[in-house]
Each structure stands twice: as structure tokens, then as C-alpha cells.
Structure 1
């Protein structure tokens, strides 16, 4: 195979940003040669086989067309775990790790087994990250999408957490049986308003719209979650929800109206108001 198809040459000639090209090419050489990412440097004279080269060109062209890297390689790191992701689920984002950290802080304050509810679990990112980091947590995760739940259940099996995370299908609290109650309720619901220009930009163009927008003002799902806690959150229990950077006051207002105390807003690493918490 010609040197023009070596790892060094392909990275040098790619129109992708260097970091993106490395991620995609690392996936190709791992798949075809079982080589780690470090081989991009240590074996950069390796010339790709015709099949591997074809895979690389396909991934490169799809990324140039805007398809998310996470969907192209089928995985995404989140908190301390790696998740399988596909077009049927939202791609886990770093800012959502704040929601996990806040839940873990609350879990540490509860003695014995802690029950956690993750509403709208998608790939299972939040539920599985919590279960991974808190051995005494038993997590229930709901989603109305059967396709999303199948991905989440596969992730649970891959991470060997399927004994501590129970998945249920249905819209928000409708997935639960009776008056199941929990110590902690968390959710990253669709909170982008209908018609928001961001829905037509970047990765969001390829992600499931039902996981991004409520097709209304961006607050309707948050309202259902906050006002629906009464039957499902234990006394002194914590609710934590992710929201848009400009929705903090509205969300905290709903929490106050619903009778919560110790209402707080928390900023993400970019300094944006991202998660609101409260106690029953």
C-alpha cells in the first residue's frame, strides 16, 4: 500500500480538525488492527489496507457533512464510564456531569441503600454514572422511547450494572408503579424551546428532537417533573434538574411554587446556570 495512505499522510491531508481526525482514525486502526490510539504516533508509517482505508474515508466524509463523532464511532465517555450511543439517543455532554455530581453529593448523605430515579434516561448516562460511583444506590431509569431503553440496557450490561439499575418504559412518572418513592430524583429533560436556532446547528441537527425540545417553550417537561414529585420524592429528598442557561429563575420559581425548600442554582464549568436543586 502506498505511503500516501499511511497514518501520518492521512492525518496530514485530512480536512477535519486535527483532534477529530485522530479520534476517527484511532477508531479505524483499533477496529482493523486492534491497535491503541498511541499507534497514531508509534506506528504512523502504517499504511491502511483497502478495507480500513474505505472505512476511514467514509467516517471522514460523514464527519465533514456534520454527523456527530459519537454516532460515527458509536461511543462516548461520560463521567467515569464509556457509553454506547446511537442516533436514537441524546449524546451525553460534559455539562450534564454536574447533575451527576450533585446527585452523588446528596447520596453520600443518606445511610444504607439509596433509591434514585432518573427520568428520561436516554442512553442511561446519568443513571449508570450514579450507579457506577455510588455502590449503595439502587437506580430506576425511565424513558418513553423503547429504542433508547434498549441502548441503555445494553450499556448497563456492558458496565455490569444491570443488577442495580432498573429500566422502565413510559413518559416521566407514568412509567412508575403506584407511589414508588425515591431519595433522589434527577432529570435532563428536553428544555430547548421550539424554533430555537440551535436546533439547526452542529450535532443537534442529528440528535432525536424529542430529547432536545418539548416543541413548546422549553419549560413544559420541567414543569411536569417538578410538580409531579409530590407522590414520588421522600421527605427531605432531593430533586435535581438540568435546564437551559436562561431558565434558572423560571425553574427555581416552579420549585418554590411546588413547595420545595433549600432551592439552589448551580453553574457548569463554562459559568452558565445549568442545574437547579431543591429539597422536599
Structure 2
């Protein structure tokens, strides 16, 4: 078959989880699915198709049906996880639990990991990954570090330096050197008052700050399952993590049988 006769590969479909928040537009002030545009813009700019996944009632059947339609998954930022999920009482500064979103994202992530669906976690998404795999969180970093530099407040993102582990999937996406003893240093936008404490099963720390805050992890043995505590969608001129996810999702899509092939078999 010539190149001109080769079947067209459609763009991969990337699911992004959303917030459920009280939202006001025009005369309406109602609970609504919400996600900042920078998230799905990053996906589409990298060649993916963005599909939003609002919190909703969850079952094994529903999760399977959703994941069957996706080539990649992003668990986005947002409110704190319920501390009961990792065996703690809530800190005074911890957000009121959102059990609907916690259950929805945990179920989607668990199913995605089981089927090796390419996954990227962002901020809360990194925490969902860690807790789903049995880890825990620092509920309020100022208590641990004595500084609020990771969450300035008022929607203002801070910039912190992170050291990226050489030879990691993350380093490869960032074009960091694969060998040597010196990690790459990268400045990233952050807005979080919680962070990973006890590491979940199978996870490897791939980026951290000079005061020990874990800023990136990846699941060992997975084709593409990584998460960052920072907000890569805010670095609009540096979409390498999104590009890596879209590329992995395209590979995943091409590797599974096409519905017409299944029908013909």
C-alpha cells in the first residue's frame, strides 16, 4: 500500500475531568461543569480532540463505556481530596470534600491504569494518582515548610524550580539529558497548598523542589502514566507534556482494533 493509500489516522481523543461548581452567566446562577479553557486549548493545540468529563454517578459499566471511547485521560486540578481516602481527619485549611468528583476520578483513573490508557495528572490529578495507589498527602504545606510560597492566593501562580530526575519519562518529554548524575532544573507555575507525602505503590518521584516537595511522579512499568503537581497548562508556550500525552494516545489508538475490524472478524 502506498502512502497515499494508507488509512487516515484520526486525532486521538483525550478526556479531561472537570469541576462541578456554582457558576454564573447572564441570568443563570447554577451548578455547572467547569474547566478553564487553557486545559483543553493545550490538548487541541497539540493535535488531540478534547472531551470534557463532568462528575457524575459512577459504576464499573459506566467507567468502561467512557474509557472505551478515549485514547488518553487527564485528571485536572481543583479542590482537595477527602482526607478520609487516605485515613486522615481534615485539616482546618482542607477544602470541603467533593465526594462525587473523588469517586468519579478515582474510578476513571483505576480503569485507565488497568487498560494502560495514557494518563496525565495535573495538580489535584497527581494527588488522585498517589492516593488511588495507597499513598497519602500533606494537607497543608505551610505547617510542614513554614512558607506559603506554593500558593500565593488570589489566583496568582508562583514560579518554583524543580529538579527533574535524569532518565525519567518526564526528562525525556522535556528533552532533558538521559544520563549523568545532574538532574535538569526547570521553573514551573504552581498553585497548591497540599502535596504528596507517603508515596503510592509503584510510583517513582521524578521531580522535586529544593525543600523536598514532590512535584512529579510516574508509574513504573506503564507506557505513559505520569503526573505533575504544577500547572503545565499555564505555560502556554511550553506544551511538551501535553504533546507527549497526545503522541502516546495516538500510539494507543493505532494499536487497538478498529471497530470495523472487530465487526468483520
TM-score by length of 1: 0.32
Q: Where is the strand percentage greater, Structure 1 or Structure 2?
A: 2
**Which structure would you say has the larger Rg?**
1
Q: Where is the helix percentage greater, Structure 1 or Structure 2?
A: 1
TM-score by length of 2: 0.33
